[in-house]
Amino acid sequence: MGDGEIEFVDNGMDDNKMKFMEVVTPTKNLQFSFKIYFPELFFVMMALNDFVRLYAKTKAKQATFSLMDKRVIWDSDVTRVRLFQSVIAECLKESVTEASSTRIFNLLHHEHTWVGGYATQYLDMLNIEFLYMDKEERQKKLLTMAKRISEHGKEYQQVKREVEQTAREYQVPVENIRLKKEYPEDIEW
């Protein structure tokens, strides 16, 4: 993960259009892409929702509904976050049924989701589990992964306790604790 792919793609501009519009512009756009694991992406979606909620509260301190306040609703940072989330949502909709995508979005946006203090080692565990599945099985397990990430169930609580205990034992921050499991060398995307 972390390696990006860069590609030039046609943008619809040609010599005739430039002459007509009286502009000189590139005929290609630079497109950057990267591969990311869905469990991690679900967490990012939740974290971005938290960011928007916290950001809105700081921008519109006196507002009853801070997310609807004029200082927030037209804010370019919030708009960029929501645009990024909408691109992820479109990708997810292409990967699962409509019912599954609706359920996943509800899980990721539910009021009880909050990522402050989240044991990210649990995400590593889910990523590794996810990547050892074949492509079809991963697609079938997306809803389950979203649920496991958002609901902080027994399995999550167990991992969190173990991570905190290990951090205390070695007198290091929880962020420094890593899983013993390894990510697979080759991933079938």
Split into its structural domains, the chain has a count of 2
Query: Are 160 and 114 members of one domain?
Result: yes
Q: Are 157 and 171 in contact (CB under 8 A)?
A: no
119-129 per-position pLDDT tens digit: 999 999 999 99
48-71 per-position pLDDT tens digit: 988 888 888 888 888 888 878 888
What would the mean pLDDT of 87-95 be, rounded to a whole number? 91
129-169 per-position pLDDT tens digit: 999 998 889 989 999 999 999 988 999 999 999 999 999 99
Let me know if residue 149 belongs to a domain. Answer: yes
pLDDT at 1: 45
pLDDT at 112: 59
Query: Are 46 and 80 members of one domain?
Result: yes
17-59 per-position pLDDT tens digit: 989 999 999 999 988 877 788 999 999 999 998 888 888 888 8
pLDDT at 3: 63
Which residue pairs from 96-102 have beta carbons closer than 8 angstroms and sit at least 24 positions apart in sequence?
Answer: 96/139, 96/142, 96/143, 100/142, 100/143
Query: Are 103 and 118 members of one domain?
Result: yes
Instruction: Check pLDDT > 70 for residue 184.
Output: yes
Query: Are 27 and 61 members of one domain?
Result: no
Helices (H), 24-117: 38-59, 70-73, 76-95, 98-109
More confident residue, 67 or 83: 83
pLDDT at 101: 92
Query: Are 89 and 136 members of one domain?
Result: yes
Query: Are 69 and 25 members of one domain?
Result: no
What would the mean pLDDT of 74-98 be, rounded to a whole number? 91
Which conformational region is residue 158 in: left (phi greater than 0), alpha (psi within -120 to 50 degrees), or beta? alpha
Residue 127, domain extent: 36-176
Query: Are 9 and 95 members of one domain?
Result: no
Query: Are 67 and 28 members of one domain?
Result: no
pLDDT at 113: 61
Query: Are 98 and 158 members of one domain?
Result: yes
Instruction: Check pLDDT > 60 for residue 2.
Output: no
Q: Are 29 and 19 in contact (CB under 8 A)?
A: no
Let me know if residue 188 belongs to a domain. Answer: no
Query: Are 56 and 70 members of one domain?
Result: yes
The answer for residues whose C-beta is within 8 angstroms of residue 111's C-beta and 6 or more apart is none
Query: Are 43 and 59 members of one domain?
Result: yes
pLDDT at 183: 85
The predicted model scores a pTM of 0.78
